Structure formats: structure tokens, C-alpha cells
Structure 1
Amino acid sequence: MDIIQIARYLDQLLDIENIKDSPRAMNGLQVQNKGDLRKVGLAVDACQATIAMAIECDCQMMFVHHGIFWGGLQPARGSHYDKLSAMIQANLGLYSAHLPLDMHPVLGNNRALADKIGLAHAEVFGEYEGQLIGLKGKVKRQPAEQLGQTLEQQLGAPVKVIGDGDVESVGLVTGGAGEIISQAVQAGLDCYITGEGEHHHYHDAIEGGCVLMFAGHYATETGGVKAVGKHLEQQFGLQTEFLDYPTGL
């Protein structure tokens, strides 16, 4: 299988060209290899640790949520050089999908998180740059603490629950989307789940009467890369391996 073929397929599958992401994000094929592709390493972050793991596992490409190019032109020096050099020497390509992976209706991070809590009647929610990037729906009515415990069990990571009371209507956006708590309050949701946020989001939640859950930036964003990996296995017969390197954040 050819890496350019796979990259073009992923561009279409994830609608890379049409989804408006942060201007810092570079979605798509970031690093090419010499062409051949048999095994894909799946990771949340392309960092020195996961790159080393991918090379050790004999991967020819990494599919990640957070790539190595952010914020425009970057000189190839320091740790950035180290990552690029290691990948090129090992013939390891890199494909990154940020917001397009969060948003995908079937393979996305939000969809994976929604499935973990049994979110029913899901519809899009959470505006960013004129597009709705998250999901909202309903879970079986339960104490907020119980939903938090379910999240902890499903994600294998600690969950910070801010507020209390029973919850039924839930909104979610994976990763670092604490600012959308204001939209959850405005929508009258009982609960809003994201990965992480800022200090003042605590007060936004308490004063707005909406339970806020921080379930971890890393932990909420493992589902999408795993789902895309399974899809590539089924569609192209590629091998995949999840390269787990949790940050605890």
C-alpha cells in the first residue's frame, strides 16, 4: 500500500479541506515516507516517545491527533529537528488530523466519548468558527457523581466533577474545550464534559447551574485514532498498533 494513496483517502474520509480548524493546525500528511505502507502506529501525540515506539514497532506511518507542525513556519532545530530526523531516518511518515478527527460523525473522538457514556438522541452542539464541533444528547437520569465514575471506568483516567445533582441532558467536546461551558449553560444542559479547561470555567459552571466534568485532554482523545485504525485495517488490510503515552492531563 502506498502512503500517498492512504493520505488521499484519509483527506476525503475526514473532510480535511472543508473543516475550519485552528490556524495553527496542519491537517493531513505532514511527513512523507518512501512510499511503502504496511503498519500504522496510532497515537494522540506525535512526540519523541511515540515516534520511538512507532519505529520500534516497525511502523511506516503514524496517524495522530496532534502532529508536529503547529503555528506556521518552524525551523528544524532542537526537539523539532530530533523528531523530524528520527522519522526521516526510519522511513516513518506522519498524518495528523486535529478538529476533523474530533468532529467525524462515526470515527471521531466525540462519537467515541458519547458511546462510552451511552449518549442517546445525539445531535451536534458547540460552536467554533461557525461550525458545530461537539455533541449533545441524553443519558439515563443519574447523579452527576455516578456519571463521573462511569467516565473514569471507561477512560481509565481520573475525572474532575464540578457541581452536583442529577444529570440527564449532556453536551461534550473532547480535548481542551472548557470555554464551551458557556454554550452548555445557554442551552440549558445538565452537564458538560470536556478534557480540560481554565480556572474561571469552574465559576461559569457553578453559577450557570451546569455540572462540568474534566475527563482529561489525553484520555478523551484516544477514541478517534483507534477508530480510524480499525477502519484502515478493515478497508485496506493494514496492521495497526496503538501507541499509548498518557500525559495525565
Structure 2
Amino acid sequence: MLEITLGIITFLTSIVAGVVGIGGGMMLIAILPSFLPLNALIPVHGLTQMSSNFSRAVFGYKDVEYEVIPKFLVGSLLGIALFSSILFYISLEYVPLFIGVYILLSLWSTKFNEKIKRYENYYIAGFFQTGLSMVVGATGPLTMTLLLKDYGDKHKVVATGAALMSITHIFKVIVFVFFGFVFWDYVGVLSFMIAGAIAGSFVGTKLRDKIDGKRFIMVLKVLLSALAIKLMVSLFL
């Protein structure tokens, strides 16, 4: 029964991500503590989100902007190498606050965008999104915010974001395996969750066509802003 329940929940959250490109993973990580032990939470979530994002990228492969992937990949390799090695020696308590502030300013401040544009690129995005994903649950908005500014097309934003987030989650899973987490112990739960994630990606991709482009951009900006505020508020609660 647990497996079926989590499969359905993952299916529904993956639909949300398939439509707007983000938010499904945050919803899932908020629900999982009611069903799984804490030590399994991040690894199981990571593998499930890897499946969700990768399938979303495959279903929208024609819209993926492939030229950004090598840049993001290089940044990700450096980020995961650095953060996994210093994870136990530094305090990352205020990282969510800085991520939240960056997202809000990037989405709504023209002056901030004019100043930050020369420093924004996919090498840096990969470095921080993948490196910080080891400790901060919501790093996906970093890349989605950048993609939203670079590409106005909803399908390009969602498909390319899914491809980049797949890289992040793949590295996370590799690190968890390296540190000794046994995914096979949760093979039953993972099977249903991965199936739900892929099915949700398919349905979400189809539903995205029903949303007007301008409305999509506004919905995504509001959702990203809400996630940014949640990141900052959770630091003080």
C-alpha cells in the first residue's frame, strides 16, 4: 500500500513539474517525511527526481537547448567535487537566504539584472546548483531563473531545465552510492515512484500545450518567487 500511495503522489507532483518545469520536487520532499525514514529521504527523492527530470527532457527532446549542457556539466563536476569534499567542514546555514534573495532580484529587478548579467552563465549555474544540491533542497530555481531570462519559449525553458536538473540529480545519486546508501533496500518503493514520475512527466508535457505562453511565464515567475520566499522564511522558523 505504501508503494502505491507514493507512486500516486509522485505521479501528481511530476505532472506539476511537467507543466511549469518546477515545484514538483519541492512538493514531494515536503510529503516524503511522513512515509520514509530521514536517512532515506534525500537519496530516494534524488533518484526519483532524476527519473522525473530525465523523462521530461526525453519527452521534450526537440526543445532542449543542447549548447548549454556542456557548460553546465563542467560547472556541475567542479561543484560536486568541491562541496562533497568540504561538506563536513563548513557552515552552509545561510545559503538558502542568498539563493532566495538572488531569485527574487533576478526575477523582478531590472537594475539587478543589468549588473549581474555579465557574471551569469551556465558554468556558474552548474557549479552552485549541483554542488549546493547536497545540502539545499531547492537549487533548481537557480537554473530555471536563468533559462527564463535567456529563452522566452515555455517548452525550451521546461525541457532544458529538466535536462540540466537531470545532471544535478545524477551526480547526487552517485555521491550517495559512494557514501554507502543502499538503494536496493528501497527497490519496491522506488519502482512505483519512478513509474509515477515518468507517467507524470508524460501527462504534464501534454498539458503544457494547453497553457498560453505569457500566462506560463507569469505562473513560473510567481512559483519561483514563492519557492524563494519559502527558502528564506524556513531559515528563521
> Taking structure 2 as the reference length, what is the TM-score of the superposition?
0.27
The structure with the greater share of residues assigned to strand is: 1
The structure with the greater share of residues assigned to helix is: 2
- Identify the structure with bigger relative contact order (alpha carbons < 8 Å, sequence gap 6+): 2
